[in-house]
Amino acid sequence: MRAGINAMHTAQRIPGHWRQQKQRRGWLRTFLLGIAFLICFLPLAWAILNSLGLRLEDTASPPTLTGALTLDNYGEVGIKEPSFWVEMVTSAAVALVTTFLTISIAFLAAYGLSRSRFRGRRLLVQGFLVLSSLPVMAYVIPLNDLMRRVRLYNTFGGLTLAETAIFVPLALYVVYGYLAGQSREMEEAARLDGATTVQVLWSVVLPTTAAALSATAIIIFVLSWNMYLVPLVITESRVRTLPVAIGDFLTYDRDMDWPTASAGMLTAVLPAIVMVVATHQRSERFSLAPAQENADNLSQS
Amino acid sequence: MHFVGFDNYASVLADSEFVGAWRNIALFILCSVSAELIIGFGVAYLMRNPFRARGLLRVVLLIPWLVSPIANGLMWHFLLDRNSGLLNFGLAALGLPIQPSPLSSSLALPVAMLTDIWRKWPLVSFLLLPGLISIPTVYWEQATLDGASIVSQIRHIALPRLRPLLLTIALLLVGDTFGTFDSILMLTGGGPGTATITPALYSYQKAFETHDWPLGVTSAWLVVLIVLIVGLCYVLLLRREVD
């Protein structure tokens, strides 16, 4: 409303050459964003063309891409790496279970933290962020030892538990940001009406946080789907995920040629891309500082 | 089990490979994290005014980050390759001679940084955009009416209000870059020689390839120490924010 009035005022005051300048800026923006877009996609587009059977012919001038379009390389992946499709299912299962566990734990912990008052709460939340920024390599060697000792080495449960423990701090920080900025009136009203904590959580807090939780879940899913070091170190052939399989494309003397490797790589990468873009109305809500935004919006109105 | 004091630390610090790994990662963090922050901020700044499908573009531009580090390393390994690569397509199209992969020359480290920047600047602009959008439009309008240049708009409006968010993103990037492992493993395997080895790769090789666990853990602990110091700086810098 207020923004609308402001816009009207400015529209009246803007002289002609300003509007021209604004138009030029619009073109400049489109141009620069176009370049950013190209830089993002050129490498991937090249990999896609290679995976479809087109090869670089650099002896010709100008250089060309030659070859017939084919999907053979994608079939070849299954021959060179026979368990590729099993690994894909494993990866999806690990990422789904990890995401569910992570979001559940982070939601409950963040709710508890955001609704209690004690000294050093802010510090604790920041501590979780520092914890989540710790590289996996820092603790993966003792993790390997621990997993063997508790007999969770090379098990689905062990892998999902470990990944959950790794992603909870980040998810907690993000979800806390949303919860801290939320108004508590509804919760208090529900409590006055005699609702239990579980009821408040389930029918008041969860519905209002659902959008934020699903945006966070998408990011956690991607992180888990792409995780390499943890499954590499605490699982073997019984629970093999896609990134570990891709790691073998070049090592272990398998030496896959690029057309096949690119097909495998793209098959591993595409599910995450398709999921995030298909759910863009949810994923675009992801934010690291929602509390600050809420405060700004409040002060604006 | 017996206590060896700081012997492991002494032997790690005396290892030239380890020192090289720290030199590499220091350069890596300095160059790639700052480039990621600058490019990411620039693109987010371009998107700060609403336009059609901005939300979709924000997610679409995130795609390089969705490519896992391991796939990213594999992809660039071949894209820069002599025979199959995008790089030589570009060179040949410009009429320049075909080059061997820069990953096998002294350019390996800077090129590895570039591939890292390619993957991670999109994350910065993805995370920064909501913060930029949340700055009330009144501020920008006022600055425009006052005739402030873009540079002073960024310095006096965007940066002060985005400071906490920028610090958070910087912390995550620094931590993530310290752990640089999968992409380098695929890209160069740490080579040529030890030109692109990182502390994480060093730890991994010591612990799981040469089975020298104490050295691997020791080097990993030094990473923990440094990241915790960075984290402490983050907390202290944010404390000033409140006062």
A127-146: b (≥16 Cβ within 10 Å) or e: ebbbbbbbbbbbbbbebbee
Residue with tokens 């675009």: A284
Distances (CA, A) of B230 to A5, A134, B173, B183, B236: 45, 10, 11, 23, 10
Local structure of residue B105 (DSSP, 8 states): S
Phi, then psi, of B179 in degrees rounded to 5: -85, 10
Instruction: Specify the higher pLDDT residue, B194 or A229.
Output: A229
Instruction: Look up residue B189 and give its two tokens.
Output: 């395997």
Instruction: Specify the higher pLDDT residue, B190 or A30.
Output: A30
Least CA distance to B230: which residue of chain A?
A130
Q: Which of A37, A137, A280 sits opposite B59 (nearest CB)?
A: A280
Mention every residue, 6+ apart, whose C-beta is less than 8 A from residue A173: A125, A128, A129, A132, A288
Above 50 in pLDDT, residue B101?
A: yes
For residue A54, the Cα-to-chain-centroid distance in whole angstroms is 31
Res B191: pLDDT: 78
CA dist A186 and A204 (Å) reads 7
What's the mean pLDDT in A108-123? 90
Considering only CB atoms, which chain A residues are within 8 Å of B149?
none
Closest by CA to A27, choosing from B12, B46, B48, is B46
The dihedral through the CA atoms of A206, A209, A210, A216 has a sign that is: negative
User: Would you say A103 and A215 are in contact if contact means Cβ atoms under 8 Å apart?
Assistant: no
- For chain A, give the longest Cα–Cα distance: 79
CA distance B178 to chain A (A): 7
Res A4: pLDDT: 46
CB pair distance less than 8 Å for A133 and B199: no
CA dist B116 and B24 (Å) reads 14
Single pTM value for the model: 0.90
Residue with tokens 């108004």: A183
Considering only CB atoms, which chain B residues are within 8 Å of A228?
68-70, 181-182
What is the tens place of the pLDDT at every residue in A43-100?
Answer: 999 999 889 988 777 666 667 777 778 888 888 888 878 888 899 999 999 999 999 9
Angle at B197 between CA B196 and CA B203, to 5 degrees: 165
CA distance B26 to chain A (A): 15
Considering only CB atoms, which chain B residues are within 8 Å of A29?
46, 49, 51
Residue with tokens 């029918």: A203
CB pair distance less than 8 Å for A3 and B64: no
B234 has a chain A CB within 8 A of its CB: yes
Find the helix or strand (DSSP H, E) in which B165 lies.
helix B159-178
Instruction: Specify the higher pLDDT residue, B79 or A64.
Output: B79
Above 50 in pLDDT, residue A203?
A: yes
Above 70 in pLDDT, residue A16?
A: no
CA dist A205 and A141 (Å) reads 39
Interface of A with B in 198-227 (CB under 8 A): 222, 225-226
Distances (CA, A) of A208 to A110, A178, A259, B94, B117: 14, 10, 47, 56, 36
Res A291: pLDDT: 55
Instruction: Look up residue B75 and give its two tokens.
Output: 């992809």
Interface of B with A in 53-82 (CB under 8 A): 55-64, 66-71, 74-79, 81
CB pair distance less than 8 Å for B181 and A288: no
Confidence tier at A251 by pLDDT (50, 70, 90): low
N- to C-terminal Cα distance for chain B? 49
Closest by CA to B228, choosing from A124, A171, A127, A142, is A127
N- to C-terminal Cα distance for chain A? 9
What is the tens place of the pLDDT at every residue in B139-183?
Answer: 888 888 888 888 888 888 889 889 999 999 999 999 999 999 999
Above 70 in pLDDT, residue A15?
A: no
User: Would you say A212 and A125 are in contact if contact means Cβ atoms under 8 Å apart?
Assistant: no
Mention every residue, 6+ apart, whose C-beta is less than 8 A from residue A169: A128, A129, A131, A132
SS3 letters across chain A = CHHHHHHHHHHHHCCHHHHHHHHHHHHHHHHHHHHHHHHHHHHHHHHHHHHCCCEEECCCCCCEEECCCCCHHHHHHHHHCCCHHHHHHHHHHHHHHHHHHHHHHHHHHHHHHHCCCCCCHHHHHHHHHHHHHCCCHHHHHHHHHHHHHCCCCCCHHHHHHHHHHHHHHHHHHHHHHHHHCCCCHHHHHHHHCCCCHHHHHHHHHHHHHHHHHHHHHHHHHHHHHHCCHHHHHHCCHHHCCHHHHHHHHHCCCCCCCHHHHHHHHHHHHHHHHHHHHHCHHHHCCCCCCHHHHHHHHHHHC
CB pair distance less than 8 Å for A43 and B78: no
Q: Which of A135, A284, A293 sits opposite B59 (nearest CB)?
A: A284
User: Would you say B55 and B164 are in contact if contact means Cβ atoms under 8 Å apart?
Assistant: no
The partner residues of A55 in beta bridges, in order of sequence, read A66
Distances (CA, A) of B36 to B68, B215, B233: 17, 32, 20
Instruction: Look up residue A121 and give its two tokens.
Output: 């709460």
CB pair distance less than 8 Å for B78 and A32: no
A24, A40, A48, best to mutate vs chain B, most B CBs in 10 Å: A40
Confidence tier at A300 by pLDDT (50, 70, 90): very low
If DSSP codes are grouped into helix, strand and coil, which group holds residue B164? helix
Confidence tier at B242 by pLDDT (50, 70, 90): low
Res B243: pLDDT: 44
Distances (CA, A) of B216 to A142, A192, A248, B14, B204: 10, 57, 22, 14, 7
What is the overall mean pLDDT for chain B?
Answer: 88
CA distance B232 to chain A (A): 8
